[in-house]
Amino acid sequence: METVEMNSVSLKRPRSEDDVANADEIKRQKILEKSQAGNDSGQSIETVTEQPEDTKNEIIPNEESEEQEEEELEDSDEDGDPESFADMMKHGLTESDVGITKFVSSHKGFSGILKERYSDFVVHEIGKDGRVSHLDDFSVPVDDEVNFEDPSEETFTVLSDEDKQRLEELQLFKNKETSVAIEVIEDTKEKRTVIHQAVKSLFPGLETKTEDRDGKKYIIAYHAAGKKALANPRKHSWPKSRGSYCHFVLYKENKDTMDAINVLSKFLRVKPNIFSYMGTKDKRAITVQEIAVLRITAQRLAHLNKCLMNFKLGNFSYKNHPLKLGELQGNHFTVVLRNITGTDDQIEQAMHSLREIGFINYYGMQRFGTTAVPTYQIGRAILQNNWNEVMDLILKPRPGAEKGYLVKCREEWAKTKDPAAALKKLPVKRCVEGQLLRGLLKFGMKNIISAFGIIPRNNRLMYIHSYQSYVWNNMVSKRIEEYGLRAVPGDLILKGATAVHIEEGDVDNYTIHDVVMPLPGFDVIYPKHKIGEAYKEMLVADNLDINNMRHKIRDYSLSGAYRKIIIRPQNVNWEVVAYDDPKIPLFTTDLDKLEGKPLPVLPTDGKFRALKMEFSLPPSTYATMAIREVLKMDTSIKNQTQLNTTWLR
């Protein structure tokens, strides 16, 4: 079976005219809803800037005004025209830069546009039981026990905006008050009950009591158990017969998972770390996944459906356990590739090959960042214990267009090496650059290791994992170039959790789909053929010792792993459809079905053709790499934008 060298062709344009119009419309809606919020429940539509994911799912606390300022800055910077974006990407990475150079199928490639609309890319999580997550039920489960925690609709409107502001400040320990008094205007037992319920439901960690003051009734809110109460919602009101965790299906559009968790936690006024999930999902997509949250009722969660844009919550149930990262079986993808040029025969060959052979299990481009300084370079410097290089790679000026404030920050850093001065140029402090500068300000220029440690742990580990991925991609390309698509003596296979070499006499018992390759680390073995030597040569060239991947800082010691060379997707289906209007959806989503929206009637002889494809993949595999194999195109943003800005003219 032949392997084919990749052609340098681009795949998608990241921002169509339709996208820009949609973004403007969304902003108008947000402004409108914010202005109207004070006239009804006091809830406003909020956006949260992208946060680096931490293993504890925590965010860096900021004053609300600063958050809003950062949100506006980041939103405005995203709205550049496509040619500005192409400028930004001119110095970005191509696939060959990160070792992605081979194909396994023999069909002729063809072009198509991926994610012309974010709704063209839909992801459904597959749980460890093999069940695909779908949003198909908004109903709230009914308990046998009546629970004071379950709020009525009146709960969300009984408190004024001023009351909510004061209660939130009390809850978050933002002022010196030890309690907040709310006057009961219509003094009835029912009214007092609703206020008690509203405070306790909307502000976990606060308790209430009724007091008479000067002949008037007041509800007094106060902290029940100090600062720990904020992260641990009240236990005494939760029925013993009910599971401690409310599991639900989250449907989201154009937001990544941590963004979504941050938005939900802000509206519920709880810390993000009481949420758990099995895997993070793409931002530019429609995704459906299971989430669990500690001691928040389904009724409270269901109310968010009335408050939030681009989110829907449903399929509620109570269970006794949270969710854990990595527990999922995989993801099911529904993808539309628009404006395809391939013949029916080319498409059939491509899709049959995807189903029967599969694709090279490369780490996709999103693993390596989008700027002129790839994440794997920073990871390599960390592993080399070269901390000045780490600092320079993150902070120094770099070629290519960037957000204006980042350019000014980098220029200031290059000129003065003064973290305080550079930080002043940076209104968005929660980016990696801002976090590192704050660390340098706190610990000093001679303690870069501690300064770097301020960056959330998951982000720091992302850099060294990016380097592992870079090595793996390059080695797999070499392995396929050297030995093709067959198992050979010296290859590695997994027996349980242990990797063993294929011996000469056993080679006929295995196929390329059984072969794994190691991610470099201190507890792995390497192939017993030319590729084993190639690993050593690559790490020696990077001034690293393949036999000693332990770092003096434990977090940065690379424990290795194994990854299959070829992945064969499951449940592969496809269909070619014609259409005239690029703005119309070509399939119905879970939300469309719940709302009873019919699929648009498509013309049989439309001027455009689209390939609708479905497939399931295991965790930690990249759908873009499967699509790359079908189209035979470079999926890097650099190549995508260079072609597509021309196409837009």
Catalytic residues: 282
Sign of the dihedral through C-alpha 164, 170, 173, 175: positive
Instruction: Report residue 375 as tokens.
Output: 């994440």
Cβ distance 10 to 112 under 8 Å? no
Cα angle vertex 78, ends 75, 79, to 5°? 95
Cβ distance 59 to 270 under 8 Å? no
Task: Please count the other Cβ atoms lying within 10 Å of the Cβ belonging to residue 310.
Answer: 17
Torsion angle of the four alpha carbons 625, 630, 634, 636, in this order, in degrees rounded to the nearest 10: -40
Cβ distance 314 to 137 under 8 Å? yes
Strand partners, 336: 612
Pairing of strands 286-294, 121-126: parallel
Compute the residue count for the chain. Answer: 649
Sign of the dihedral through C-alpha 536, 541, 545, 550: negative
In 291-403, alpha helices (H): 298-303, 344-356, 375-383, 387-395
Q: In the chain, count of helices (H) and strands (E)?
A: 20, 20
Query: For every residue of 544-578, which 3-state class applies, written as one string?
Result: CCCCCCCCCCHHHCCCCEEEECEECCEEEEEEEEE
DSSP conformation class of 512: G
Instruction: Output the furthest CA–CA distance in the chain (Å, rounded).
Output: 94
Pairing of strands 4-5, 245-253: unpaired
Cα angle vertex 434, ends 433, 438, to 5°? 120
Residues 6+ apart with CB under 8 A from 604: 578
Pairing of strands 330-338, 206-213: unpaired
Q: Which of 409, 411, 468 is nearest to 436 (CA)?
A: 409
Phi-psi region of 191 (alpha: psi -120 to 50; beta: other; left: phi over 0): alpha
Cβ distance 76 to 297 under 8 Å? no
Q: Which of 235, 246, 241 is nearest to 294 (CA)?
A: 246
Instruction: Please give the single-letter amino acid code of residue 142.
Output: V
DSSP conformation class of 122: E
Rounded to the nearest 10 degrees, the angle between the axes of helix 530-541 and helix 457-483 is 140
